[in-house]
Structure 1
Amino acid sequence: MKDKHLHIIQQIGANVCRFLLAAAFIFSGFVKSVDPLGSQYKIQDYLSAFGMASWFPSFFPLLGGIILSAVEFSVGIFLFFGVRRSVASTLALILMIFMTPLTLYLALFNPVSDCGCFGDAWVLTNWETFGKNVILLIAAIIVFKERKLLIRFVSQKMEWLVSLYTLFFVFTLSFYCLDRLPVLDFRPYKIGKNIPEGMTIPEGAKSSVYESIFTLEKDGKKEEFTLENYPDSTWKFVDTRTVLKEKGYEPPIHDFSMVELNTGDDITDDVLTDMGYTFLLVAHRIEEADDSNIDLINDVFDYSVEHGYKFYCLTSSPEEQIELWKDKTGAEYPFCQMDDITLKTMIRSNPGLMLIKNGTILNKWSDEDIPDEYVLTDKLENLPLGQVKVESDTHTIGFVVLWFVIPLLLVLGVDILIVRRRERRAAKKRQNNVNEKKEKTREDNGEKSSF
């Protein structure tokens, strides 16, 4: 009796740990898969922090981020349904054995501000991440040791279909969000957000003090300047960065600063308080930007000029790269300098297009989805394009979940109605055969005894 009770307790404990791991891995894999470029940037931060950026080819951070999200999501789904138990429990344990010491190092030395394990959806401090990973590591050890006690929700004959569809779903979602934009935006530059409000410091809160540092070059000599001592136009722009001088309350948006390339003027307030429409072409590194749809971008600029709207290209690239872009694309729009991280946060596309009015983000487009002449048929005031694009995270999540769940429900239905029914029939047939053999044995024994 004690052994039976112990077995039940072990089974309950193993399955509780299994669902805890499943929830963590599904959430982590999902939020990474909807933002593959965000995962790429975080992996690049890791490689730079550890001095390993030159060790890997340029495509590695993006490919690694997509594969990591697929592995995490798949492991979570496998654990949830109780399929591929050996593979899932082993991968979960390997991941936690790797991540737990890593996050301890991050907590102690802080080479990156956050681990990025849940993307921008849920930002944890490095110590919070380490504590979370310790719990998950314990759960992973228990699940690995007791993997045979995990309850199955799908039969062995159908688990291949669940596995295959899970991989298809997560890779399709990642590449869709890479080609377009993330279907869920967890960043402060989400459509409908007001940029000045995101920069506001609550009354009484001490604000952080930031300073923009500009690297300029003249006569082969590079020097750093601030806005206060920005030199004349004979200096060529090389790079810009934002540094924290004094820590305080940090608003969601704290580093939005537009510096016009030709004049060196900060035009941030003019743009954010403009009651008219402004198109912002965001290309965090202009030399890496995709120019396959440059004709559409130039058409949008021509449309802006025709209707009196403002248009700026925001980049962190040096002036010589901007001049090369102009020569290559025929760009006539003005350029502004901005912090590279800010540009990456604003939109997950290089280039990407953003439409704002009075500081409010009305819409965003990836390079593959820029509006064309069939959309820009009138003034923005008369088009749905000129209004805030209506988005519902609840609706989006529900749609994505249904896209994943409905096929799996069909699989479960087939599994229950057909596969398991066949298994029950086969088991019943085997039992009948055993009973018939027993009956025949008894009859044979009876015949022998009668002699």
Structure 2
Amino acid sequence: MKLIAHFSRLFVGIIFIFSGLIKLNDPVGTQIKLEEYFDVFATDFPFMAGFWEFWIPYALLISIFLCALELVLGVCLLVQYKLKTASWILLATVIFFGFLTFYSAYYNKVTDCGCFGETIKLKPWTSFIKDMVLLFFILIILWQRKVFADKKTGVLVAASVVFSIALGVYAVKYLPPYDGLPYAVGQDIAKNMKPSAPLQFKYIYEKGGETLELDQMPTDTTYHFKEMVTLNQDEAKAKITDYNIWKDGDSTDYKAESFVGKKLMIVIPVIKKANTAHLDAIRTLAKSLEGSEVKVWLLSASNEEEVNNFRHEYQLAIPSYSSDTKVLKTIARANPTIWLLDNGIVKGKWAHSSTPDKNEILESLK
């Protein structure tokens, strides 16, 4: 039993460290998921709508806290620091996450819970099963807690706290250190909009009262067609399904135009939430590229009036276009983000706090 207890400790510890690391790499992604949950609960429990809406402005802080907590608790298990206390907190944490994943799965509310960030997408029921497996092993740890002797490893735990907070803050300020999303540097946006693999089908027919599954459509007219089933829908799904750019009152296909030539996009998902501290640098960059082969666009999901007022206030003499909020938040983990395309291939991405100059832009296009 001692062997099982130690296996449980190591298994849960590694999973929590892995999960925490992935999400601390992109705490804004977890923030977006938390906001989705708050919105869902505010709608489903209208008598508590004010309570859930209260937390939305603090979603980023909660995200960093929860992600750091996961990593630190995992470290506590591995180094056997205050294991009893850590195990009880782990139990509460996994029950909390289990409730969220069950609610998502049963009511089909948030179809991607974000348990492992955007890097590893799990369906809600898969994520719920994962939480139940973790719950099982955590209960073993609590049951066999006398097996574990606490060790003087507080320095390691303290270091993990500092590391966790530093990584989360860095990712928010300078974008995720590792970008695994389909809009990352090096990605071909147009290619990512195509199916990842050829679709495969099976055809359900009926003949003589017998149901048959065929891998191709029969030529025999005595077969009666019932349905066609896609076998690899998830595997064949395009990495990008909702990328679009438009301008109200204009029929031009700006999505297609964004794949032609060199485009520098100033991506501001929500104008009201934009960090304006570095807009002078962004304005200087845009002005320095006037007359060059690099065309500067402003992309936002905010309404035209808000965008125009923003452009005039900060003297951004660049054309503005609209796109979907979710798409822009996927592209831009910082608000604003500078996003560089060359014939649809991403050549660079910078947070507003590290706005490049003209030379860096041109160097990235080589």
Answering whether residue 10 of structure 2 is matched by residue 19 of structure 1, we say yes
What displacement does 1:177 show? 0.8
The match for 1:322 is 307
The match for 1:310 is 295
Pick from 330, 334, 358: which aligns with 1:345?
A: 330
What displacement does 1:267 show? 1.1
8 A contact 1:46–1:112 mirrored in 2: yes
8 A contact 1:181–1:365 mirrored in 2: yes
Partners of 1:150 and 1:88 in 2: CA distance = 12
RMSD: 1.9
Q: Which amino acid aligns with 1:31?
A: I
The match for 2:120 is 122
The match for 2:173 is 179
* Distance 1:91-1:293 versus aligned 2 partners, 3 A rule: same
Q: Which structure 2 residues correspond to residues 250-269 of structure 1 after superposition, within 5 A?
A: 250-261=237-248, 263-269=250-256
Q: Which amino acid aligns with 2:190?
A: P
8 A contact 1:286–1:325 mirrored in 2: yes
* Distance 1:378-1:16 versus aligned 2 partners, 3 A rule: closer
The match for 2:213 is none
Q: Which structure 2 residues correspond to residues 387-398 of structure 1 after superposition, within 5 A?
A: 387=366
Q: Which amino acid aligns with 1:44?
A: E
8 A contact 1:349–1:367 mirrored in 2: yes
Secondary structure of the residue aligned to 2:264 is: strand
Task: Name structure 2 gaps, 5 residues minimum.
Answer: 43-47, 201-232
8 A contact 1:36–1:177 mirrored in 2: yes
Query: How many residues align structurally?
Result: 326
TM-score w.r.t. length of structure 2: 0.84
Partners of 1:300 and 1:261 in 2: CA distance = 26
Secondary structure of the residue aligned to 1:305 is: coil
Task: Report which stretch shifted further, 104-113 or 363-372.
Answer: 104-113
Partners of 2:288 and 2:49 in 1: CA distance = 41
Partners of 1:11 and 1:203 in 2: CA distance = 47
4+ residue runs over 6 A deviation? none
Q: Which structure 2 residues correspond to residues 41-56 of structure 1 after superposition, within 5 A?
A: 41-51=32-42, 54-55=50-51, 56=54
| Identity between Structure 1 and Structure 2 (%) | 29
Answering whether residue 137 of structure 2 is matched by residue 139 of structure 1, we say yes
Q: Which structure 2 residues correspond to residues 1-16 of structure 1 after superposition, within 5 A?
A: 10-16=1-7
Secondary structure of the residue aligned to 1:68 is: helix
Partners of 2:123 and 2:275 in 1: CA distance = 35
The match for 1:83 is 81
Answering whether residue 194 of structure 2 is matched by residue 200 of structure 1, we say yes
Q: Which has the larger radius of gyration?
A: 1
Secondary structure of the residue aligned to 2:291 is: helix
Q: Which amino acid aligns with 1:258?
A: I
Task: Name structure 1 gaps, 5 residues minimum.
Answer: 1-9, 207-246, 388-451
The CA deviation string for residues 94-139 of structure 1, in whole angstroms up to 9 with x for no partner, is: 1122222332222111110111111011111111111111111000
The match for 1:448 is none
Q: Which amino acid aligns with 2:121?
A: V
What displacement does 1:368 show? 0.2
